[in-house]
């Protein structure tokens, strides 16, 4: 059995000075899972996102991270029960757009976006410094029975089964997020458990990987560390740094060697500030060929087993 064991430590202060850097601010807002949906409550939680972001942004500008002064900043809000809907909510667009323009920063947030067929999609939306949508990624691998029901409609009773969160339409494109000279592949929640997602982003040209997630739905259980371990594998497999930003934890920076830095505590409000740059060069064997090695090993093992049975038969 192979296990990914995180090494929890502060991120070391080293970076290739020739590589353009981007300041990334990760917001862990700790939005409660049992929201009432009351307008006052939702406004207060939105204000929490904004105040945490502004405080961290001002601090990053006043005290450059690792001595790196950069005009490029990215604020990341995680997947959460807030159910932001950037395209449908004019108030949210105005507030987020004004924040981006006033503070000269880009914002990456999770949003419930309309699908072309009239349904809903669980999306990651990048709002640039002008307050406009620069890119949008629609979640491809949905959570079974959470975001869709994997039952054929002809099955008796299937139409009465509903996803816990809702019924979503899966995306189909591995859209990269523009981050100045860098490109980021952003995947959402359980997609960290599917190696093909991060691999596809890397093959599309991602310089860095970003995972936004809400792991609070099962409480303070080992699933939080399991999801972190999934992200560690994705970073190592593709030789890419990975920024993981969550609602309730565990938020962390994972380098391309699988080392984990600045890990946040669970179910607490937290903010982390990092620099990201293009560290991974080229692609790994896994990025290029996926599970080909695993399949080859399985076939060889099957061949040996078959040969042993044939040998016993003729003895």
Domain span at 54: 8-283
Strand ranges (E), 205-308? 208-213, 242-246, 252-254, 260-261, 270-276
Helix (H, G, I), strand (E, B) or coil at 307: helix
**In a domain? residue 34:** yes
> CA 222, 171, 121 angle in degrees (round to 5)?
75
> CA 255, 226, 268 angle in degrees (round to 5)?
80
Tell me: pLDDT of 81 over 80.
Answer: yes
CA 87 to chain centre: 20
Query: Which residue shows structure tokens 């949906």?
Result: 37
In the chain, the number of structural domains is 1
Burial of residue 313 (CB within 10 Å: 0-12, 13-18, 19+) is exposed
One DSSP character per residue, 149-201 reads: --S-TTSTTGGG---SS--B------PEEEETTEEEEEEEGGGGG-HHHHHHH
Tell me: pLDDT of 310 over 50.
Answer: yes
Contact 141, 191 (CB under 8 A): yes
Model confidence band, residue 118 (pLDDT cutoffs 50, 70, 90) = confident
Q: Please compute the mean of the pLDDT values over residues 209-218 and round it to a whole number.
A: 92
**pLDDT given at position 280:** 62
Percent of the chain with pLDDT over 90: 58
Q: Which of 202, 185, 222 is nearest to 6 (CA)?
A: 222
**In a domain? residue 132:** yes
**In a domain? residue 30:** yes
Tell me: pLDDT of 157 over 70.
Answer: no
**In a domain? residue 186:** yes
Instruction: Look up the CATH number of the domain holding residue 202.
Output: 3.60.110.10
Contact 263, 224 (CB under 8 A): no
Assigned token pair, 106: 């880009």
**In a domain? residue 33:** yes
Model confidence band, residue 292 (pLDDT cutoffs 50, 70, 90) = confident
**pLDDT given at position 1:** 39
Question: DSSP class of residue 148?
Answer: B
**pTM recorded for the entire structure:** 0.87
Contact 87, 116 (CB under 8 A): no
Model confidence band, residue 3 (pLDDT cutoffs 50, 70, 90) = very low
**In a domain? residue 308:** no
Alpha-carbon gap, residue 198 to 185, rounded angstroms: 7
Model confidence band, residue 52 (pLDDT cutoffs 50, 70, 90) = very high
Contact 240, 202 (CB under 8 A): yes
For residue 67, give every residue at least 6 positions away whose Cβ sits within 8 Å of its Cβ, in sequence order, or none: 13
Question: DSSP class of residue 65?
Answer: G
**In a domain? residue 307:** no
**In a domain? residue 180:** yes
């Amino acid at each position: 059995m192979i296990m990914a064991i995180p090494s929890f430590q502060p991120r070391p202060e080293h970076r290739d000075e020739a590589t353009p850097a981007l300041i990334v601010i990760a917001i862990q807002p700790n939005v409660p899972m049992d929201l009432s949906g009351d307008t006052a409550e939702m406004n207060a939680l939105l204000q929490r996102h904004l105040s945490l972001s502004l405080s961290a942004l001002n601090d990053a500008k006043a005290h450059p991270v690792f001595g790196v002064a950069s005009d490029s900043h990215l604020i990341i809000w995680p997947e959460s029960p807030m159910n932001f809907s950037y395209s449908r909510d004019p108030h949210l667009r105005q507030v987020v757009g004004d924040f981006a323009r006033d503070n000269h920063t880009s914002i990456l947030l999770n949003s419930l976006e309309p699908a072309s067929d009239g349904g809903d999609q669980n999306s990651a939306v990048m709002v640039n410094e002008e307050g406009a949508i620069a890119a949008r990624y629609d979640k491809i691998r949905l959570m079974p029975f959470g975001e869709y029901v994997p039952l054929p409609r002809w099955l008796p009773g299937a139409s009465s089964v509903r996803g816990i969160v809702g019924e979503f339409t899966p995306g189909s494109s591995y859209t990269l997020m523009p981050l100045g000279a860098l490109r980021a592949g952003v995947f959402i929640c359980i997609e960290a458990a599917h190696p093909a997602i991060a691999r596809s982003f890397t093959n599309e040209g991602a310089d860095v990987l970003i995972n936004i997630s809400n792991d609070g739905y099962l409480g303070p259980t080992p699933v939080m560390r399991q999801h972190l371990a999934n992200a560690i594998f994705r970073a190592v497999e593709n030789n890419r740094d990975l920024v993981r930003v969550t609602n309730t934890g565990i938020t962390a920076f994972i380098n391309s060697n699988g080392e984990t830095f600045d890990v946040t505590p669970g179910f607490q409000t937290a903010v982390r500030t990092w620099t990201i740059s293009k560290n991974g060069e080229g692609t790994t064997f896994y990025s290029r060929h996926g599970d080909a090695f695993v399949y080859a090993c399985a076939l060889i093992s099957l061949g040996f087993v078959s040969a042993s049975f044939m040998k016993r038969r003729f003895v």
